[in-house]
Amino acid sequence: MRNRTIIPTMCHGCSYGGYNCGMLAHVENGRFTRVEGNPDHPLNRGGLCAKGQAAVQWVYNPNRLKTPLAGTGGRGQADFRPVSWELALESIANRLLEIRERFGPETIIFSKGQSSGWGGLHHLLWMRFMHVLGSITFSNWGPSVCYSPQLMYYRQVIGGPTYPRPDYDNADLIIEWFTGGGTGGPARGGVETLDTNLRSVPVKILDRVEQGAKLIIINPQLIPIGANGRAYKWLPIRPGTDGALALAMMQVIIEEDLVDRPFIDQWCEGFEALKAHVQPYTPEWAEPITGLPAREIREVARLYGSTKQACLRFSEAPQKEDLRSFAQSVATLMAITGHLDRPGGNIYFFPAGRLSFSTLSHRVPKRSKERLLGADKFSVRASGGHSAFFPSVIEAIMTGRPYRPRAMLIFGSNPLGTARNPALMAEALGKLDLVVVVDVVRTPTTRFADFVLPAATRYECREQPALWSNHLSLSQRIIDPLWNTRDELEVTLELACRMGFGDDFWQGDYAAMVNEFLKPVGISLNQLKERAREGIYLPRTEIMDQRERFETLFRNLPNGKIQLVNKALEGVGGDPLPVYHGERESWEQAEKQNRPRLLFTDEHSAFINHHAWMRDIPYLRELQRHTEVKIHPQTAERFGIREGDWVEITSPHGTMKAVARLFPGIRQDTLMGQHGWWQGCPTLGLPETSPLNGGTNPNVLYNWEYQDPLSGDISKNTLVTIQKGSPPEEVTPKEEKN
C-alpha cells in the first residue's frame, strides 16, 4: 500500500527562503516524488515554471555536499577530510572568538548570496549574528552591482522607499527596458509584490497585451516576452548606451511639451534648467551612440509622453560604469511625464506589514562601525552604512588597508563565480585566516574553505514564513535532511549558542525564533501552520491602495519636492542634471586599439536557472547543455563561426569560452553571454568548468575598476573579439569523494 501525503510549501527556485510560488509536494513512503503548483497560492495560482518542477531532482542531486568537510591542504587545493558537525562547529566557534579577540570583530566578514534570499529570516538572523559578534561587515558581490546601486539614484532623484514598480494591471503602454521580461521568475505573476521590480511578471504583461496594451522591448536582443508577435516595437539598443536613449527621450518629451505641467509645478523644482540642459540631447545625437534610428527614438518618446497610463520596467541590474546617466534620466522621465505613483504608471509598494526581529545593531561597537569597509563610497553612506562595499572588502584583504580582514563566513554564495575579477577573489580568499562556506552544492569557492558545511535544501528544513503585500505564506519541511546535511538556520543558532550568545538567540529554540519573526503581524507559527495551503491574508492598510502619495514619497527630498537640479548629488561629486558619459570601452576605444566593433555583455536571467543555481539539475541542463553566447548569423559568418561551435571570446581583460548560438534577434555588433556557468552535470556526462580566465565565466571579460563613481556599480560592457575555439578544460571535483 502506498503511503502518500501532499504537503503545501513554497518553491525555492527564485528567492531562496523568501516569498515564492506555492507548491504542493508529494511524498510517497518517505520519498519526495513530485511537485505541483498550489492553486490556492495567489502568486502562481497553480502554475509552476521549469525550475520549480525540478525540485525533486534538486533535492536528490548527487552533486550535493553531504557531510561537513575540513580543509587539509593549502587554500584552493580542495583537499578535505570529513568531520563531524560537532567538531566543525566547535572549531569554527573557537577560531571566530580568537580572531575577534586578537584582531577585532570588524575583521570578520559575512558574505551572503542572493541564493539565501534578501530581507527574510536568513538575512535578519545572520545580521543579528554578526552584530552580536560585533561586526557590521555584511556584504557580497551581488548587492554591489545589482539592485542597490541604482536604487540609490532613484531615492536621491525621486525619493520613495524603494523602486517605483510598473503597474502592469492598468497600463496601456508597457516598456521593458533591458529586463528579462519574466525569465527570472516565469510563474510569478498573479499578485502585487515588490517582485514586479525585481522580476517582470509575465502573466500580468500578457493579460494586458491581450487587452490591447502596447509592449515595447528595449534590449540588444529580442526577449521571450516580446515573442509570438507581442512586441509592438523592439528597440535593439547597443548595450551600455541606455542613458543616451533616456536623455533623447527626455529631450523629445520636453521639446514637444508632453510633460505633466501641473505635476511639475506642484512637485518639482528646477524644470527650466532641465529644459535648457537636455536641449542638445536630440534623437539625432543619440542615433550613432545607441544604434537606434532617431525616428524610432522619437516615436517611443512620444508614445511614452502621450500615453497617460504608461509604465516602465527598467533592469534592476544595468551594471554600467555610466549608471548615473541611465538611472537619473529614467527616474526623471517618469516624474516629469506624470507617470509616478499613478494608476498604470510606476507605483510604490507598501506591504501590509513586515516580518522581522531586531538585528541588535546597537551591539556593534563604535570602533567597528567606523571601520566599515567602503564607507568612503557615497552609496554606502546613503544607505545608512549597513553593509560594506564588496570590492572594498577585497581591496582591504589584498592591501591590508585600512586593515586586513581575517575571516569570511560565506553562506549560499560563490564569490569566485560572481566577483569581478575571479582571480583576484581567489587570491584574496587565500589570504584569509579562516574561510567557512555553507552551501547546498560544491562551488568553486568551496575549495578555498577551511570548513565546508553541507546545507539542507529548504525542502528539508523547518517552517519559514514569508510575507509579500498582505499575504503570509509558509515554507515547510517535506522530508528530513538527507545525508549528513543540516538546516543552515539551525546551524547558525547552534553556532551562536556555542559562542556564548545563547541569550540573544532564543537559546537555540527554532520555533521561538520564528514566533518572534512573526510577532509584528500578530500571527503565531501554529496559526500559520494550520493555514499552510492558502496562507493568511492580513488586513490591507490604507496607504497600500492609495496613489499619488507624493507627500509621503518626497518627504526626505529638499522642500519635499523633486529636485530636477540635484544639489545633493552635486555635493558628492555627481551630476546635478543627467549627463551622458558612456561606457569606457566604446567605438573610439575600438578604433584606438584596432579592435573590431564588437561588444559583449551578459543577460541577467534565463528561464531555467536562478543565476548560477540549478545548472547541475538534469531536467534543466538537458534543455541547455553548455553556456551559450548569442551571435547574429552575419557576425558569425564574418568570424567563421557556426551554430554549436565552441568559441573563444577575448576582451582586453580576459578570455572565456562558450557555445555559439546563432540568433537573428540580436544586434550584429553585440554578443550576449550568460553568467554563472561552471557546474557540471554528471547524470548527463557534462564536466565542471573553471570560473577563472579561459573558463566559462564572463566576469573575466570585465574590468572591475570601471565603476560608476557614486554608486560603485560595475560595468558589464566590454569590447571583444571572437574566434572558433576548443571546449574549456575540465575541472575535477575533489569534494565528491567524501
Partner 1 sequence: MPRFGLLVVVERCQGCNGCVVGCKNWHADEAGEPGRIKLIDTTTGTFPDVERWLFPLICMQCRYPACVAVCRFDACVADERGRIVINRDRCVGCGLCVLACPYGARAMRTDGKAGDGCDFCLDRVNEGNPPYCVATCPTGALIFGDLNDPDSEISRAIRRRKARPLFPVYRTRPRVFYTRALKVEKLIPRAT
Binding residues for ligand SF4, per CB under 6 A? Answer: 11, 13-14, 20-21, 44, 48-49, 51-52, 185-188
- Distance, in Å, from the CA atom of 679 to the CA atom of 63, rounded to the nearest integer, reads 9
Report 585-624 residues binding partner 1 (CB under 8 A): 607-608, 618-623
Task: Give the type of residue at 215.
Answer: L
Q: Which three cell numbers stand for residue 714?
A: 560595475
Cβ-based nearer residue to partner 1, 510 or 619: 619
13 binds, among partner 1, ligand SF4, none (CB under 5 to 8 A by kind): ligand SF4
**Closer of 217 and 701 to ligand SF4 (Cβ):** 217
CB of 403 to ligand SF4, least distance (A): 40
Decide if residue 254 touches partner 1 (CB under 8 A): no
The alpha carbons of the chain give a radius of gyration, in whole angstroms, of 25
Q: Which does 14 bind (CB under 5 to 8 A by kind): partner 1, ligand SF4, none?
A: ligand SF4
**Binds 11: which of partner 1, ligand SF4, none (CB < 5-8 Å by kind):** ligand SF4
- Smallest gap from residue 246 Cβ to ligand SF4 (A): 29
| Least Cβ distance, residue 607 to ligand SF4 (angstroms) | 8
Residues linked to residue 7 through DSSP beta bridges, in sequence order: 25
Please report how close the Cβ of residue 49 comes to ligand SF4 at its closest, in angstroms.
Answer: 3
Residue 27, classed as helix, strand or coil, is: strand
Whole-angstrom distance, CA of residue 144 vs CA of residue 700: 17
Burial annotation 373-406 (CB, 10 A radius, 16+ → b, else e): bbeebbbbebbeeebbbbbbbbbbbeeeeeeebb
Using alpha carbons, list the distances in angstroms from residue 452 to 12, 478, 517, 615, 680.
22, 24, 28, 20, 19
Q: Which of 542, 373, 565 is nearest to 470 (CA)?
A: 542
| 186 near partner 1, rule: CB under 8 A | yes
| Residue 51 vs 371, nearer CB to ligand SF4 | 51
The option from ligand SF4, partner 1, none interacting with 440 (CB < 5 to 8 A, set by class) reads none
Q: What are the helix (H) ranges across 461-596?
A: 488-498, 510-518, 525-530, 542-545, 550-553, 567-571, 587-592
Q: Which is nearer to partner 1, 179 or 515 (CB)?
A: 179
Nearest distance from residue 16's CB to ligand SF4, in Å? 10
The residue (of 193 and 703) whose beta carbon lies closer to ligand SF4 is: 193
Task: Mark residues 30-59: x for contact with partner 1 by CB under 8 A, - for none.
Answer: ---xxxxx------x-xxxxx-xxxxxx--
Q: Give the separation between CA 32 and CA 53, rounded to whole angstroms.
A: 12
- What single-letter amino acid sits at 610? H
- Per CB under 8 A, contacts with partner 1 among 627-656 are 632
DSSP 295-340: HHHHHHHHHHHH-SSEEEEE-S----TTHHHHHHHHHHHHHHTT-B
Residue 508 backbone dihedrals phi, psi, to 5 degrees: 85, 5
Tell me which of 64, 611, 667, 716 binds partner 1, using CB under 8 A.
667
Q: Does 113 bind partner 1 (CB under 8 A)?
A: no
> Is 385 or 618 the residue whose CB approaches partner 1 more closely?
618
Residues 206-235 that bind partner 1 (CB under 8 A): 206, 209-210, 222, 224-230, 234
Q: Which of 96, 132, 171, 187 binds partner 1 (CB under 8 A)?
A: 187
Gap between the Cα atoms of 253 and 306, Å rounded: 9
* Residues contributing to the site for partner 1 (CB under 8 A): 33-37, 44, 46-50, 52-57, 182-183, 186-189, 202-203, 206, 209-210, 222, 224-230, 234, 236, 607-608, 618-623, 632, 663-668, 683-684
